[in-house]
Amino acid sequence: MKLYIGNLSFNSTENEVRTLLEQYGQLQSFDWITDRETGRSRGFCFAEMDNADADSAIKALNGTEFGGRTIKVNEARPNNNRRRRQSWY
C-alpha cells in the first residue's frame, strides 16, 4: 500500500520520517518530495509498505504530533487531475 504523509514540518528530515515509519514495518519505497528550484522539503512524502504494516502506521500516526505539527498519514490516492507538461520540440 502506498501512503501519503503530509503536513510535515519543513525542518523535518527524510531520515527522521523514514525512522518514524520503519517502527511499523519495512519500507518498500520512499519518495521525499522537494521543491525543484530550492531543494527544500515541500512538507509531504510518500512511502510504500505491506498492507498490514501500512494499516498499523496509519492507525498509530495519523493525527499525531511530529516535529511540532499534526501530521496526516493515509492511503495515497491516485492524482488523475494532474496537468500534463506540454512538450515542446
Residue 87: band (very low, low, confident or very high) from pLDDT cuts 50, 70, 90? very low
Stated pTM of the model:
0.85
Q: Which one is the CATH code of 2-75: 1.10.10.10, 3.30.70.330, 3.40.50.300, 3.40.50.720?
A: 3.30.70.330
Read off the amino acid at residue 65: E
Sign of CA dihedral 70, 76, 81, 82: positive
- Which pLDDT does position 85 carry in this prediction? 53
For the cut 80, the answer to whether the pLDDT of residue 84 exceeds it is no
Q: How far apart are CA 40 and CA 87, in angstroms?
A: 26
Percent of the chain with pLDDT over 90: 87
Sign of CA dihedral 41, 66, 50, 82: negative
Residue 83: band (very low, low, confident or very high) from pLDDT cuts 50, 70, 90? low
Closest listed residue to residue 4, CA positions, set 60, 42, 48: 48
Work out the average pLDDT over 39-67: 97
What is the widest separation between alpha-carbon atoms in the chain? 49
